[in-house]
Amino acid sequence: MKRKTARQEKNKKKLSNTVARVIATAFLMFYALTALYPPIWMFYNSIKTQKEFALNIFSFPMHPHFSNYIKIFERATIFRAMFNSIFASTFAIVFIVALSFLVGYVFARYTFKGRRFLYFFFMFGLLVPVHALLIPVFIQFKTIGMLNNQFTIIPPLVVFNMPIAIFLIEGFVTSIPESIEESAFIDGSSHIKTLVRIVLPICSPIISTVVIMSFLTTWNEFGFPLVLLRDPKLRTIPLWLRTFSGEYQTDYPGLMSAMLLASIPAILLYIFFHERIMRGMSAGAIKG
């Protein structure tokens, strides 16, 4: 008798567990959908005509058509903006990786006087409200005549992405045994050569994380290009999107197509590297 109630009790607990499990999963799924639905909504409305959109903003397109996208490519302003964005991101990423690797390496391998100060110095860049610096950077660039050229936007992109890259690289190098450099050194390789030929390749996992994250932030950056670039020819993708929305005020499906085109590189990267992106962004953030 006693045994039976125990079993009933256990069954009941199991059942309530299953129910709780279903409810919790359903809630989380629902939450995940609210994170996902707006972009999806944007996508399927971008392949509607304006008329179909005005009729019902929820319905899936009856006759999906891509004329919104074709229209954007025909106007061709996007190509110049893409070039500018790719140009800026590429240069910025090269510098971010090179400079952060040096600093991260030194932080991981050496204890020296002033290390704490230097650490704090770079930490400052992680915590500084970047957009409070829009005007200071603008004024400095204006004074030294660096506004409005193809390279203008690169230095701010580099320095404000360096801190997080430094801390990621430092963490990784710390986990590599020092004996690797030492044995190479004994074999007669110079320290710099060892760094480039041996340490850098070992760091490739963290370097690729840095590259991906830097691409996302530089591609998405809006504030600095906005204040530093006036010449329409120099517009990066976010600035292009802003101009486009000004010209297409009421063409909502058209605007959605442009927004989607602007996001495609980021979305593709996320599809392929989401684990790496999540790990990199959270690890870099916690350092602070």
Partner 1 sequence: LASASIFKSRFRKIFFFLVIPVLVYTFFAILPILWAAWHSLHTDFQFQIKFAWFKNYDTLIHDPDFWHSFRNNIIIIGINFLLQIVLAFIIAIWLHSKFIVMRNLIRSLIFFPTILAPIVVSFLWRLIYNVDYGLINTVLRGIGLGGLARAWLADPSVVIYAVTFPMTWQYTGFFVVIFLAGLTNIDPDLLDAAQIDGANGWQRGIHVILPLMAGTWRAVLILSTANGMKVFEHPFVMTHGGPGVSSAVIAVYAVINVFMRNHLTYGSTIAMAGLILSFGLILVAVLMMDYVIVRRRQ
- Region 28-47 residues binding partner 1, contact defined as CB under 8 A: 28-29, 31-36, 38-39, 41-42
Q: Which residue has the tokens 């709780």?
A: 20
Residues 99-138 that bind partner 1 (CB under 8 A): 99-100, 102-103, 105-106, 109-110, 112, 118, 121-122, 124-125, 127-138
Helices 237-247 + 77-109 axis angle, to 10: 150
Interaction pattern, residues 172-211, with partner 1; x per rule: CB under 8 A: ------xx-xxx-xx----x--------------------
Q: Which helix (H) or strand (E) holds 46?
A: helix 2-46
Residues 134-173 that bind partner 1 (CB under 8 A): 134-140, 143, 155-156, 158-160, 162
Residue 83 structure tokens: 């070039």
C-alpha–C-alpha distance, residues 72 and 55, integer Å: 23
Neighbours of 245 (CB within 10 A): 14
Q: How far is the CB of 10 from partner 1 (least distance, A)?
A: 16
Q: How far is the CB of 95 from partner 1 (least distance, A)?
A: 8
Residues 74-93 that bind partner 1 (CB under 8 A): none
CA dist list (Å): 99 to 121, 136, 166: 15, 23, 8
Q: How far is the CB of 270 from partner 1 (least distance, A)?
A: 5
- Which of 15, 70, 196, 267 contacts partner 1 by CB under 8 A? 267
Q: Which residue has the tokens 């302003």?
A: 77
